[in-house]
A and B are shown apart, each in its own frame.
Chain A
């Protein structure tokens, strides 16, 4: 059965304009059938169907991990997943949202952990139960190579875990599928922090600037700006020297305020 929706089926605010003649398709929300415009994302389709979200809705832009959803298509044994705010509905999709999945988050003191595999062994020892089944990678809505970073963790390659999990939104889908009951995303968070704390070198320039500020070097310069008449302040603003986009080797001419 298909029907069309009127052109004025626009909704205030997060308006999705539904073009005239848009086909209506059946989707099954937790087994219950609704007809929705085929162009909508799962999130907007559920709102169209009458749902008002409290859970399972966050940034509505694919980065917060609140709306993880798993689904199957009729006649297909495979399990699919996606973010409800990013995934367009398909005919006869059977979906359920995972608004929360319990995960083990260990409390630790970053100052007291070593920068090697023992940091993982002492916090998330279950990581080493990984059976390399790849269910986590298959379910990841961000297309991360989750199983590969688990392997990197087991090898103690903390930097690789950090790099490979960079776009993790911590939605929990990997954890929900893990037969070894690991907590991939919390372990990866630990590794990113270890990498940032110990793997990446500290910026000497930032440290130097902090000391200069503490010594009061810039106070008089800012006070000078604060004491200027508006016209003079505007003049300084307009006459700022502009660092070019490709600025290799560029040096500012004015140096007394550096």
Chain B
């Protein structure tokens, strides 16, 4: 709904300070960046990751006793039983056989499928919803690659590792920065549309925590454009790439030697389980926003429920950095229908400033995401200069009308078409009125442990994309996830093909690791009826559910 009269009154204070703020930006004067030391202090005081309550350690599996505490919503998934009792599955008759099975049909999975296919593989993509239903399609702002004359992989590397608090795995960062231009060139060759100058050069923008402009984009639909392009290409190669929709994996299948050998899929429509036998398996299941850690709203896709890490963990593969969760600084806080909706960082790179109830700047607009989020939470909760909404939420203004003033009339509508229409529907013209924003759950910084080819400790089991941990350490920068899904999707696809070509003979298929996991749960004294992977979140109405007298829920699904 349009802003209330009270809110419109408050917007006048933003309008009052706007001309002066615009003038300062033109002169290159911005609110000062925090020092590393001060950033750390802000994070410890205000970032949700540093809250002690609602967290606990792992009691079972490879991350048991690793010294970190994790959000309860995460640990709950690991202290849970499989959807399936291994005793009742007959693994001797696979429903499908293929070279490479890819679990997850988002950006990483689709890129992996293309490179595996180019290297001679028959591929099956098993995906929970539709092909392309993934966080990739929702990513807006851009994809990083250090290819400008004023930039180089050296600076890209420094930005990434500093943004991640120097915790990132150096080899993973190196590969990400050095493969980046190659990926941009590959996407160009597939016909992806980029924002370019007439002579074909990229119109680059900065991102939070990036010292140079290296964001390549396609309006505010960059992720959608990548996904549309690579999905279209996968569909062109349908003779070799088969896509199974609405059929998420629920367990990885190993062979008696402990090699990856396929997966057990669940057809959510017919409710049957099917078996895929594969010589290599690539997990590309994405992130976990739908766990709603600490009750935060999320920008994530309906299916983002951490399935892949759970399945890999049951095989004995450890995870890393899952203690750090990314809250995007600017999720929509108004109108109620748009709460949690991603407001791309590109708005701030284009010049929009976060300002408080008095129209004052309080943060450098392009701090790394975790610091920017902490600053916004501080302004609302501690300084007390947040803006309340009619239903009792709180947020700060993101002064989007500055963009047209800095870059010319019509820029907002042209460069942010999706966002423009999403608010216009509710009577808010974001080129003339600011947006109300608050941090929202955005990215799973951590993930499955793997090397720079996406190889895990299980032979034949690969990971790529958001499910792979360590690239971004404790905090990811804007534009590096669209990059990493492609860089690591490509690498996992290539290496999986090499692995298969070495000549893989699968022994008898087994779910023994699931049995062992159930045993370990019991021995740790964890008695629970929780089920994982979760597959879909539960948004059912408790009042209706109380009356579903004959319904049986298995986990979150009926």
- Chain A positions within 8 Å of B, measured between CB atoms, are 11-19, 39-41, 44, 47-50, 52-55, 57-64, 66, 86-88, 105, 107-110, 142-143, 162, 166-170, 189-190, 192-198, 200-210, 213, 218-219, 221-222, 225-226, 230, 233-234, 236-238, 240-247, 250-252, 257-258
Contact = CB atoms under 8 A, between A and B. Distances in A.
B152 A218 contact: yes
A238 B418 CA distance: 35
Interface in B306-345: 336-337, 339-342
Nearest to A110: B191
Contact of B182 (A16, A19, A59, A210): A210
Contacts of B540: 47, 50, 52
B88 interface: no
Contacts of B149: 205, 258
Contact of B158 (A18, A167, A237): A237
B67 interface: no
Contact of B337 (A88, A108, A244): A88
B422 A86 contact: yes
Nearest to B214: A243
A61 B341 contact: yes
A189 B225 CA distance: 10
B297 interface: yes
A189 B298 contact: no
B102 to A, nearest CB: 19
B201 interface: yes
B408 interface: no
Interface residues of B, number: 109
A209 B154 contact: no
Interface in B227-280: 228-229, 232-233, 235-238, 246, 268-269
B153 A218 contact: yes
Nearest to A242: B211
Contact of B196 (A108, A170, A189, A201): A201
Contacts of B198: 201
Given A197-B190, A218-B178, 6 more contacts: A14-B340, A52-B558, A55-B129, A194-B191, A222-B157, A226-B174
B241 to A, nearest CB: 11
The 9 closest A-B pairs by CB, nearest first: A201-B200, A193-B191, A197-B191, A50-B544, A13-B292, A237-B162, A196-B191, A257-B154, A209-B147
Contacts of B189: 197
A234 B163 CA distance: 11
Interface string B154-173: 11011101100010001000
B133 interface: yes
A206 B188 contact: yes
B114 to A, nearest CB: 12
Nearest to A113: B191
A38 B85 CA distance: 44
A114 to B, nearest CB: 14
Contact of B302 (A16, A58, A193, A195): A58
Contacts of B161: 225, 233, 237
B364 to A, nearest CB: 10
A203 B557 contact: no
A104 B130 CA distance: 17
B391 A192 contact: no
Contacts of B339: 15-16
A63 B213 contact: no
A13 B539 contact: yes
A126 B536 CA distance: 39
A72 B50 CA distance: 49
B537 interface: yes
7 contacts: A16-B339, A59-B133, A59-B301, A62-B341, A63-B138, A193-B190, A237-B161
Nearest to A67: B302
A240 B422 contact: no
Contacts of A59: 133, 137-138, 301-302
B285 to A, nearest CB: 15
Contacts of A86: 337, 422, 425
B144 to A, nearest CB: 13
A179 to B, nearest CB: 26
